[in-house]
Amino acid sequence: MPTTASANQDSERMQIMPPLLKNLASRLEAGAAHVGIFGLGYVGLPLALRFAETGIKVTGFDIDANKTELLNSGNSYIERITPAEIQAALKAGFMATTDFSLTVGLDAQIICVPTPLDAHHQPDLSYVINTVEAILPYFREGQLLSLESTTWPGTTEEIIEPRLRSRGFVPGHNCALVYSPEREDPGNPHYTTADIPKVIGGTTSVCLELGQALYGKAINTTVPVSSTRVAEMSKLLENIHRAVNIGLVNEMKIVADRMGINIHEVIQAAATKPFGFVPYTPGPGLGGHCIPIDPFYLTWKAKEYGINTRFIELAGEINHYMPHWVVQKVADALNEQGKAVKGSRILVLGLAYKKNIDDTRESPAVEIMSLLEQKGAEVAYSDPHVPEFPRKRDYHFDLASVPLSEESIRHFDCLVIATDHDAFDYEMLHSHARLLVDTRGRFTGGNNVVLA
């Protein structure tokens, strides 16, 4: 259960809290607050369902009417969230809407919208800014606003707070403003939204207290930090840590390949050391919304302070190169069989960015498909979690997932394992593929297997 302070501590906090926020504090502590979640994607929807599960009234906001209609009809558009979970939330009072005017009836508002990079690899905060601007006409005194979207340190104080103040809302006085970075790991059965500790930073100490009161009702452990900047930086460090280590192991894979060494066997051997080593697995590149994007938010902001983040940028270059590495391995493997990439039928196995999920955001599999198509290959894909190729800003494939059978496998000149879903029958793939290029270490090698 969430940790709560003693009655005496609560009383002391209430005494120093401005009058306009005392009612909010009481409603949050009592679990009587009405919470709004803005952005009903892979982060916002699980969070909304978790609040609803605890008995808190939740309204979900999204600009996509198709999403809100699906949710209100008891259906889900995210594979790991079942219709039964949506229907249970609806019974508990959850509703989804595109009507931002309903903001006026909320006690707390949580922004969970995308923060992508633009065409020049610069931070794109347009989704955050547009959401705040849509909320502001209906914002009122005594409300709490929380940002969860990953961003550069200073965003909450430099982008959101001035907009609140321009309307007469002063955080810690007549409203509350916090930053609490999202922490989701799709496909990980060991950690639910409730189980993952929640870092929270407030623009004032009062804001922090109110933020803890909000999230403490839904999240088992809250982690207060001294400022929103610390909270913002903590999220970037988490993902940069992974990006840099993945970049390292991807570079090691290239070196090992040149030396004729199986990098996966090397990692398994190194991982037997009981201290000082954390195993990271190489792959065809980085995917998901966070790891390929978040490091660039810090490198961009660091330039404002005259700092070049060379270590981070180098890891980014290595990881960005990996789809090209895979395509070259495919070309070399086909060449060994006397075939060119141009005109070859190539099936990419796995479209999601990691196994056993349906999330294709920034998936290296998509980039591999694009590069192969540019070289003249006839490209198809198979993914049991992604039945049709989704709409994307930069990639356009009018394709549906190819069902796997002995006959369909033999139809292709080459199969590329880009995402190693557990649902794939690897024995069948190995037995009937003319050529297998494995980017995930599912195989140790063989006459028809090339490790990439």
In this structure, the answer to whether residues 229 and 283 fall within a common structural domain is: no
Q: Are 316 and 213 in a shared domain?
A: no
**Which residues have CB under 8 Å from 27's CB, separation 6+?**
33, 107
Residue 187 pLDDT exceeds 70: yes
Q: Is 290 a catalytic residue?
A: yes
pLDDT attached to residue 445: 79
CA–CA distance from 65 to each of 40, 130, 289, 386, 423 (Å)? 11, 17, 22, 22, 32
**Over the stretch 289-300, which tens digit does the pLDDT of each residue have?**
888 899 999 999
Active-site pick, 175, 207, 290, 414: 290
Strand ranges in 85-195 using DSSP code E only, listed in sequence order: 95-97, 108-111, 144-147, 176-179
In a domain, 246, yes or no: no
pLDDT tens-digit series, residues 332-356? 999 999 999 999 999 999 999 999 9
- Whether residue 242 is contained in a domain is answered as no
pTM of the model: 0.91
Residues 112 and 195 in one domain: yes
Q: Supply the CATH number for residue 437's domain.
A: 3.40.50.720
Please tell me the least confidently modeled range out of 6-10, 82-86, 372-376.
6-10
**Residues 64 and 131 reside in one and the same domain:** yes
DSSP E strands in 165-282: the ranges are 176-179, 198-202, 222-225
| Domain presence at residue 21 | yes
Question: Distance of CA 193 to CAs 186, 221, 323, 339, Å?
Answer: 10, 11, 32, 49
Q: Are residues 15 and 161 in the same domain?
A: yes
Average pLDDT, integer, range 152-163: 98
Q: Which residues form the domain of 26?
A: 7-235
284 and 222, same structural domain?
A: no
Q: Is 256 inside a domain boundary? A: no
Tell me if 249 is assigned to some domain.
no
The one-letter amino acid code at 360 reads T
Give the angle 8-9-10 at the CA atoms, nearest 5°: 90
Each residue of 309-325: pLDDT tens digit?
A: 999 999 999 999 999 99
- Residue 33 in any domain: the answer is yes
pLDDT digits (tens, 9 = 90+) for 251-286: 999 999 999 999 999 999 999 999 999 999 999 999
**Of 235, 252, 282, which one is at a domain's C-terminal end?**
235
Same domain for 128 and 230?
yes
User: Any idea what the Cα angle at residue 305 is, between residues 303 and 306, rounded to 5°?
Assistant: 60
3-class SS at 355? coil
Residues 294 and 168 placed together within one structural domain of the fold: no
Same-domain pairing of 224 and 277: no
Amino acid 113 reads: V
- Does one domain contain both 227 and 269? no
The residue out of 215, 235, 255 marking a domain boundary is: 235
Number of domains in the chain: 2
- Asked if residue 427 belongs to a domain, the reply is yes
Out of 261-270, 422-431, 438-447, pick the least confident: 438-447
